[in-house]
Structure 1
Amino acid sequence: MKTMTTVLAAALALALAGCAAEPEPAAPTPAPTAAQDTPAATDDASAAAGGIALAAQARVVLAEVQGSGVTGELTFDPDGDALRLHGEVRGLAPGSVHGFHVHETGDCSAPDATSAGGHFNPGQMQHGDRQSEGPHHAGDMPNLTAGDDGVGRVDIRLQGLQIDGDADRDVVGRAVIVHAQADDYATQPTGNAGARIACGVVELVQPAPDYQGPAS
């Protein structure tokens, strides 16, 4: 009997030791809060530091001048060391050709839009054809030609211009002007393009939403 009692006591002691060694269940992890679920917002500088450059974009809303009926919307996008200007100008005579420039001052308030000043010309160059090898104003652009529907469709690359940067190249705060006649690229300093029939101020849009920085 004494032996049996000893065996039972030893078995009970082993069972109790096993229970003591068993770890307690871990407390459940609390669910993340809404603040933890949402990534922290970053500003432009921190995004750039993470390797994603944000590029600015600029737009122009053209309004008629002196009842011309000419309106339009244009967008400037970064394109390497240049800007790409694209959009539409409406209300033109079918097949007509018009001088088309970036002007110095973003002010279309004068009835004839002369408040926009002359062509944007920080380099003090002669007026000329951007598409030739000769000198030209920074704001000189190819003539605008209307289609049969009276719409001038724009898609041009403007070397040397930029957005939100060096003042000598920056188009933001300038104006885009459509003229009544074609630019002859010879008459100084205007190209003999006639009256101003549409004017719009170049405004900054921050940032271009789909720009992911230069390719690595």
Structure 2
Amino acid sequence: MKQRIDGQAVRRFIVVAAASLLGLSLAGCAGFFGPHEKRADAQLVPTMGSAARGTVTFSERSDGVQVTYNLSGLPANSDHALQIHERGDCNAADGSSAGRIFAPAADELKPGARVEGDLGNIHADENGGATGFIVAPDVSLDGVRSILSRSVLILRDPSDPYFSSRSAGPALACGLIRQ
């Protein structure tokens, strides 16, 4: 017994099959060719005698690295430096194992030059919390100015961008920057 196949049904089947295959292949390409955001995170833990802690997220953008922070345990209504330091080491109780502030271009030697690792100052509210973001145009998540595998620190005092050799006080919290 021969079965007759309707021409319109065959065309519909071919169109549906082609659309499915095209959708599958484009979905695979989107994963390959689509935008890949470079991102890293740091979990900050308090140094000895401090209650400061939180998270800092780094996302690469066309104008630099967006540094988003969500912190707690800071002194109420206070300003603090947020800095990247050379070594990804927060093992010392006071955060000193993180080393010096990150400065790949040796800008710390030039008077009035802002060092790449000095991200700026943050403000804690009346509850000791600080949330917000900073765009750091002089660092990246790869290459010579990469901050990956380095440390991010919150320091007791605000930094002075015109005197980068001046200390911003002891570290309140330290975290390793990881992808």
Q: TM-score, normalised by structure 2?
A: 0.79
Identify the structure with the greater strand proportion: 2
Aligned residue identity for 1:201: L
SS at match of 1:63: strand
1:184 to 157, 160, 163: 160
Aligned to 2:32: 47
Q: Deviations over 1:108-163 (max 9, x none)?
A: 0111111111111100112799xxxx422110121121111111223111102222
Structure 2: 5+ residue stretches without partners? none
Q: Alignment length, in residue pairs? A: 168
Aligned partner (choices 156, 168, 172) of residue 134 of structure 2: 156
Counterpart CA distance in 2 for 1:56 and 1:196 is: 27
Indicate the SS of the match to 2:173: strand
Work out whether residues 113 and 162 of structure 2, in 8 Å CA contact, stay in contact via their aligned partners in 1.
Answer: no
Superposed CA RMSD in Å reads 3.1
Following superposition, which runs of at least 4 residues in structure 1 exceed 4 angstroms of deviation? 38-44
The 5-angstrom pairing of residues 20-39 of structure 1 reads 24-25=3-4, 39=24
2:85 paired with 1:103: yes
2: distance between equivalents of 1:139 and 1:128?
14
Q: Where do 1:28-177 residues align within 5 Å?
A: 39=24, 42=28, 47-48=32-33, 52-126=34-108, 134-163=112-141, 165-166=142-143, 168-177=144-153
Q: TM-score, normalised by structure 1?
A: 0.67
Give the 3-state SS of the residue equivalent to 1:87 in structure 2.
strand
Amino acid at match of 1:172: L
Give the structure with higher Rg (CA).
1
Cα distance in 1 between the residues matched to 2:82 and 2:132: 10
Q: What is the DSSP-based 3-state SS (H/G/I as helix, E as strand, rest coil) of the residue aligned with 1:126? A: helix
- Work out whether 1:194 is the aligned partner of 2:169: yes
Q: Secondary structure of the equivalent of 2:97? A: helix
